[in-house]
Amino acid sequence: MLGGPGSGKGTLCSDLVRDHGFVHLSAGELLRAERDSGSPQGDLINSTILSGKIVPVDITANLLLTAMKNLGWTQKTFLIDGFPRNYDNCEGFERILGPFVNMPFMIFLECTKETMIKRISKRASESTTLRNDDNDQVLIKRFDTFHAETMPVIEKYEKEGKVQYIDANRSAPEVTQTVVNILKEHKYIQ
Ligand code: UDP
Ligand code: MG
């Protein structure tokens, strides 16, 4: 699942987990947890996040792989949120996860910049555990990275006929219902 910062990836995934038993893996959350665990990779992860850039794929793909293994991956359908978000990520996805994982399609949450900024400001003002990248300075860089590096990934999967475009400017229940219908069509939900 991809979409710009604040497009609603996390919210949609929680709804799908709650109602339909998927397993949610947020690449951003795995990176933040790895950083906060005191890992030797923590400084690199944190400085990359603060510059709005994308962490080298070996780190992210191995965190995803380990999380899947620990969750008992053979019986599960995973929602991978926020990954792969540049060409380097795509290469590593194929190399590290490709032998084990089948990605049938990508859900792309299309959202105006105005909506995304509103949602992130709300999250920043309400959250008790403020993300250190949810501020104006880093947000500008996250938007730049999204346009320069993530949009080409959408185009790559588009050429493979794998992208499901979702209008993510609507309310969370409406977005969730649209995605549920698509997952039903593809028999991921009964
Ligand atoms: N990030 C990364 N690789 C990933 C996912 C996230 O490097 O595969 C970093 C990146 O710096 C990004 C930050 O983690 O800006 C937060 O990602 P998340 O998906 O949590 O937030 P979003 O910007 O999509 O709201
Ligand atoms: Mg998120």
Q: Name the residue of 24, 34, 53, 142 whose CB sits within 8 Å of the most ligand 1 atoms, as the mutation to test its pocket.
A: 142
Ligand 1 atom, smallest distance to 83 CA: 8
Other CB atoms within a 10 A radius of the CB of residue 180 amount to: 17
pLDDT for position 190: 87
- 77-126 pLDDT, tens digit per residue, is 899 999 999 999 999 999 999 999 999 999 999 999 999 999 999 988 99
Proximal ligand: closest to the CA of 63: 1
Question: If you measure from the C-alpha of residue 164 to the centroid of ligand 2, how many angstroms do you get, rounded to a whole number?
Answer: 19
Write down the pTM of the prediction.
Answer: 0.95
- 128-156 pLDDT, tens digit per residue, is 778 999 999 999 999 999 999 999 999 99
Proximal ligand: closest to the CA of 119: 1
Which residue owns the Cα nearest ligand 1 atom 14?
A: 28
pLDDT above 70 covers a percentage of the chain that reads: 100
Average pLDDT (46-64) is 98
- Phi first, then psi, for residue 52 (nearest 5°) are 70, 15
Say yes or no to pLDDT of 170 above 80. yes
Question: If you measure from the C-alpha of residue 178 to the centroid of ligand 1, how many angstroms do you get, rounded to a whole number?
Answer: 24
Peptide bond into 84 cis (omega under 30): yes
Give the CA count within 13 Å in the CB-facing half-sphere of 145.
Answer: 19
Ligand 1 atom, smallest distance to 4 CA: 24
Long-range contacts of the stretch 91-100 (C-beta < 8 A, 24+): 91/57, 92/57, 92/58, 92/60, 92/61, 93/57, 93/61, 95/61, 96/57, 96/58, 96/61, 96/62, 96/65, 97/61, 97/64, 97/65, 100/65, 100/68, 100/73
Average pLDDT (159-188) is 96
Comparing C-alpha atoms, which of 28, 7, 3, 6 is closest to residue 147?
A: 3
Which residue owns the Cα nearest ligand 1 atom 25?
A: 5
Q: Name the residue of 41, 45, 55, 57 whose CB sits within 8 Å of the most ligand 1 atoms, as the mutation to test its pocket.
A: 55
